[in-house]
Structure 1
């Protein structure tokens, strides 16, 4: 079967450590090249994988069947809409955008040309968590759930390369780790029908959600927890008692699974459950939560 030509837009630590290695090692992918806002970084990443560094993003889009993104969300959105309008399939990072208008622009472009799309919410593609989510989504009788995702990105002494990310500094845990939590809760408990939110220490946000199934959930999200308090867990409670999400790892393998999903969707014509429309719904929920914490009305 002909390989899918996939180009990469973005050159930061996520692109360098996850997307590029996954694309370079995927047997069904021809890694067509990379473009970034920093030409020197694009050149270094291209040299590491024996691919072409493009100085024109439209030339990379033209040379590809699909485009993978490793960019800040509000830089990603207009470029993704541009790629979709050119008929290129989309492998997006989460969140799709931090504005509803931005996410809707991508959805409109993808629907306009009928391209396939996948949003890389890691837990939906990781080897241990993906089947666990599917199993819980197929079960009935959930009563409530609680999630806690405490990162220490901005804690004192942090050495994470992502600590220098301006958009994470501005938007915090709600927008960075919130999509991970929602990517689990929505398929299991149903869409969010009502929410409230309040601020905690630093960038911490506490969410309380009501779901279409009648179940409720809570989530605590932060990038500023002390190192000793950091960690992530999601627990579902219902007729089967307490069920805890397994751990996960291997981001490269998870991204390769997302590539598999995009190829299958593009060739089979069926939309993936974690597509750009799902990404839009996550943006809508997080934007509403943000408005509540800031005392604004959407």
Structure 2
């Protein structure tokens, strides 16, 4: 499968480019970016073409991987789907329900495959744990903490405009929800959403299985307090999401595997654009609670 990379920022350089260039099941054809110089530099690093025009890249590939801010991603994902190109997308799918719905509608109309990259869903140990817990009945409650130090460290994402504007709810909230929804079921109601320190938010969710969950999300945690954990409690006892022995590059390679499989079999992956839209809908509801100050 011939694939092009859209984006040249820190995430594209650290994860997408090495994952795609080293993948035996896809052929990285070229790179397009909003900064032509950065696209040229990244393309030269991996011995592929730099494209000045995104439509020219779309004409040369079967699929695109997107490493761009969510609103830019949504616009280009619609454009790529309409051109008949399969999509390897990042989270969040979009920053509004309307943008997310436009992507899913374009995917459905074009009949292309899509995969949204939620890191834990493509790492070996977390993925196996999620699958195992989803088969266990009787979960009563869950607690998820996704605490980043993006704004309190020398993170390469600290100056990201969309992260500064939208904060942890939209950046790490998708990760937490991608773990909880397969186990506890869809969110029936955002019961409460309140602000904590800096960009920190606390959510209480009611799930389709009858279980409830609490989420604490932040990009402003002290570096010593940063980390992610998920704990489930129910009839089977207590279990905790395991850490992963691998980073983002192997996980992204598995996401590319999932896209190739979806193209080959015609069967949607569980982390497709429709799932990404559902995450966006939940986040938008939580954002509305935060904005209105109601719970």
TM-score (norm 1): 0.97
Q: In the alignment, which of 151, 169, 182 is matched to residue 148 of structure 2?
A: 151
The structural deviation recorded for 1:128 is 1.2
The equivalent of 1:25 in structure 2 is: 22
Q: In the alignment, which of 97, 103, 117 is matched to residue 106 of structure 1?
A: 103
The equivalent of 2:276 in structure 1 is: 279
Query: Deviations for 1:82-129, whole angstroms, at most 9, x for unmatched residues?
Result: 000111000000000010000000001000011000000011101111
The CA distance in 2 between the partners of 1:95 and 1:140, in whole Å, is 29
The equivalent of 2:119 in structure 1 is: 122
In the alignment of these two chains, the number of paired residues is: 292
Describe how 1:156-171 pairs up with structure 2 within 5 A: 158-171=153-166
The equivalent of 2:76 in structure 1 is: 79
The equivalent of 2:171 in structure 1 is: 176
The structural deviation recorded for 1:151 is 0.7
Query: Deviations for 1:6-32, whole angstroms, at most 9, x for unmatched residues?
Result: 100000010001000000000011101
The CA distance in 2 between the partners of 1:20 and 1:296, in whole Å, is 41
The CA distance in 2 between the partners of 1:33 and 1:258, in whole Å, is 19
What secondary structure is seen at the aligned counterpart in 1 of 2:151? coil
The CA distance in 2 between the partners of 1:267 and 1:231, in whole Å, is 36
2:7, 2:31 within 8 Å by CA — same for their partners in 1?
yes
The CA distance in 2 between the partners of 1:113 and 1:153, in whole Å, is 37
Q: In the alignment, which of 266, 269, 277 is matched to residue 269 of structure 1?
A: 266
What secondary structure is seen at the aligned counterpart in 2 of 1:17? helix
The CA distance in 1 between the partners of 2:224 and 2:20, in whole Å, is 34
What secondary structure is seen at the aligned counterpart in 2 of 1:162? coil
Please state if 1:57 is matched with 2:54.
yes
The 10-residue stretch of structure 1 (210-219 or 127-136) with the greater mean CA deviation from structure 2 = 127-136
The runs of 4+ residues in structure 1 deviating greater than 4 Å are: none
Gaps of 5+ in 2: none
What secondary structure is seen at the aligned counterpart in 1 of 2:51? coil
Gaps of 5+ in 1: none
What secondary structure is seen at the aligned counterpart in 2 of 1:198? strand
TM-score (norm 2): 0.98
What is the alpha-carbon root mean square deviation over aligned residues?
A: 0.9
The structural deviation recorded for 1:227 is 1.2
